[in-house]
């Protein structure tokens, strides 16, 4: 991936030689595993570079701005993060490679995908723990409820449902960052009630400039300002089936 170093630096996220090797190995493992299971619709290095790696790395400056910290300093912080519905690994694995001080927990309900993530974490020596379970169940576990500085989730559900699946993990004062496509503004408007109900406050919606990607990409940033009521998340399947919307 000869362009990754240059393009990552253009996003304000320079990568070390070891990190570049980590991205190359992750790409190899992803393409290899994708022949056996449906991890992603992206089938070549160029597509993964744009839509997986750079899409994830573009979130780092957004997170840094949200906490008023230079991106280089943020990458030295030993935050606890959780990614919900990780699938093939985006944005969690790219962020874990570029932010080695980050301690990431990946929640993935499909067993074969969880095993793939464990193999990647071991091969790349990442500070990553994988939990093979439903987010609704893990979010009610006292060991994980309101324990994290940051939660991320990509392509899991529409935002009102995603907020219920993710905000229970975040400590008061922590952040939720959701990469979204062209409907981000519309989804965020419909998620206002859910964000407030779950203890969040919308900090902003940033447009992402991903080299080589024509589709509009955004990052929706929510801060946790109050505790999530005990009845959330609801039982598995309910957040997606019946998203929290104003009556």
> What was the pLDDT predicted at 34?
85
- CA–CA dist 205, 222 (Å, integer): 9
Burial class of 182 by CB neighbour count within 10 A (0 to 12, 13 to 18, 19+): exposed
> What was the pLDDT predicted at 39?
76
**Residue whose tokens read 């519309």:** 186
> What was the pLDDT predicted at 148?
98
What structural domains and CATH numbers belong to the chain?
Answer: 4-241 (3.40.50.150)
pTM of the full predicted structure? 0.95
pLDDT beneath 70: ranges in the chain:
1-2, 41-42
Q: What is the DSSP string of 190-206?
A: HTHHHHHHTTEEEEEEE
Return the sign of the alpha-carbon dihedral for residues 180, 183, 186, 191.
negative
């Amino acid at each position: 991936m000869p362009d990754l170093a240059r393009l990552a630096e253009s996003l304000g996220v320079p990568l070390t030689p070891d990190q570049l090797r980590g991205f190359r190995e992750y790409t190899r493992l992803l393409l290899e595993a994708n022949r056996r299971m449906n991890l992603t619709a992206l089938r070549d290095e160029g597509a993964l570079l744009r839509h997986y790696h750079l899409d994830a790395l573009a979130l780092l400056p957004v997170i840094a701005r949200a906490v008023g910290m230079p991106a280089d300093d943020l990458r030295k912080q030993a935050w606890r993060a959780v990614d919900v519905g990780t699938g093939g690994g985006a944005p969690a694995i790219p962020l874990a490679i570029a932010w080695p001080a980050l301690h990431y927990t990946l929640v993935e309900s499909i067993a074969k995908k969880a095993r793939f993530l464990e193999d990647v974490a071991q091969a790349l020596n990442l500070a990553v723990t994988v939990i093979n379970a439903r987010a609704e169940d893990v979010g009610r576990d006292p060991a994980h409820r309101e324990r994290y500085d940051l939660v991320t989730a990509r392509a899991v559900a529409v935002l009102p449902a995603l907020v219920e699946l993710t905000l229970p993990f975040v400590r008061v004062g922590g952040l939720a960052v959701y990469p979204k496509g062209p409907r981000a503004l519309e989804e965020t408007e419909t998620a206002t009630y859910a964000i407030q109900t779950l203890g969040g406050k919308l900090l902003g919606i940033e447009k992402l400039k991903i080299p080589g990607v024509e589709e509009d990409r955004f990052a929706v940033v929510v801060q946790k300002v109050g505790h999530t009521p005990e009845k959330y998340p609801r039982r598995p399947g309910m957040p997606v089936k019946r998203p929290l919307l104003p009556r």
